[in-house]
Amino acid sequence: MKAIQVGLLGIGTVGSGTFNVLQRNQEEIKRRAGRGIEITMVADLDTARAQAAVGAGVQVVADARAVIANPDIDIVIELIGGYGIAKQLVLEAIEAGKHVVTANKALLAVHGTEIFAAAHRKGVMVAFEAAVAGGIPIIKALREGLTANRIQWLAGIINGTTNFILSEMRDKGLDFGTVLKQAQALGYAEADPTFDIEGVDAAHKVTLMSAIAFGIPVQFDKAYVEGITQLGAQDIKYAEQLGYRIKLLGIAKRRQADVAKGMADGIELRVHPSLVPAKRLIANVEGAMNAVMVHGDAVGTTLYYGKGAGSEPTASAVIADLVDITRLHTADAAQRVPHLAFQPDAMSDLRVLPMSEVVTSYYLRLSVSDQPGVLAQVTGILAALGISIDAVLQREADEVGGEGATATDLIILTHDTVEGTMNQALTQMQALPTVLAPIVRIRKEELV
């Protein structure tokens, strides 16, 4: 049988990895797919570099549209990235009747609804395993492996840069700025690391996972996004003393209505630093590694762990998509797995909840005057708002500021409460004359 012909748009780190792995494991892949898969055309602005990467047997062009226009190309791999030209090229490839494989989580998180609708109309596939968690097959697990389950929640360490930074801060007691510079020197962080450290990259990924898990449209604009730039080394140290580790988590959770508490059905979609019990496996995911926990009603809690980035780990996911498309290339479009797991006419209109309606528990650190009555003032405010305290840790002033210090740290862990209520409590506590600095609030996730 004639090999499937693939056109590659962009041959950077992931593109070259995809080409190399496909070449190296060609026979094994052919045995799995039932026919050969060959990259026969590459588009890259640096044609000389691209030609050197793929050799003389592959046609290299500067114009990506030449790949899309080639009638012999069955599948287009988009590895350009970003929202701009990549969106145009993906939509043009779909319109030309080409299947698309992409690692572009930003594009799909923002424009996925439009792209998937276009693909559905044309009867082609858009595969994106490589867009979330690199080599970890989390999209396939959510879309197919867990299809019998009503998924209740998922939580993931899905950005290797931030996990490396937090691991180094915990292990070495260094502050954020120092470790960020180390991460950049080692190549874990970009020269402009904003998307990573501000949580945007993780939010793109959890947005895609939430759509597949719950059968809702892709809604990145409704995600709550908070990064790690404000975390202090002392908070990581205190969390450790309390039996927790701080991780940047992408969280999507189904919430059932509770009439007694005035809470409606909805989906929580959020990215922020979280205290996670140190005994959880995910709390022990270190360095640049990724992990995703998924809880389904039938299977319980499952964990997926591996390399979330890199040339060949990401290429592994790209090629898995190529194999899937190759197997289903001639199948009736109606019999293929839907892009977002649920049939397009059966998507849910469940509301994505604003952060003020989210229910979780909290770690609070208050820098307070070292004098009698302060703890009573603070706990009185929490009690008046119905916020229950789980634990309190009060440091001696000389432990925090040295001998003769007049301020100390008060650490409070709370039970579950509504974020809006906690916001009220923080406003009232911050107004106390005995509270000497902005209060640190980090959400806490037990993940059970």
Phi-psi region of 109 (alpha: psi -120 to 50; beta: other; left: phi over 0): alpha
Closest of 189, 220, 215, 188 to residue 205, by C-alpha? 220
Answer yes or no: 205 catalytic. yes
Give the long-range contacts of residues 403-406, CB within 8 A, separation 24 or more. 405/370, 406/369, 406/370
Residue 209, beta-bridge partner list: none
DSSP state of 388: P
DSSP state of 333: G
Q: Give me 42's structure tokens.
A: 């590459």
Q: How far apart are CA 195 and CA 161, in angstroms?
A: 10
DSSP state of 278: T
DSSP state of 145: I
Catalytic one among 205, 247, 253, 307?
205
Q: Beta-carbon neighbour count of residue 130 at 10 Å?
A: 28
What is the 3-state composition of the chain as percent helix, strand, coil, each rounded to the nearest 5?
40, 25, 35
Q: 230 near 133, Cβ under 8 Å? A: no
Q: How far apart are CA 393 and CA 411, in angstroms?
A: 5
**CB contact set of 410 (below 8 Å; sequence gap of 6+):** 365, 366, 367, 368, 374, 375, 378, 392, 393, 394, 395
Q: How far apart are CA 411 and CA 390, in angstroms?
A: 11
Q: Which residues are catalytic?
A: 205
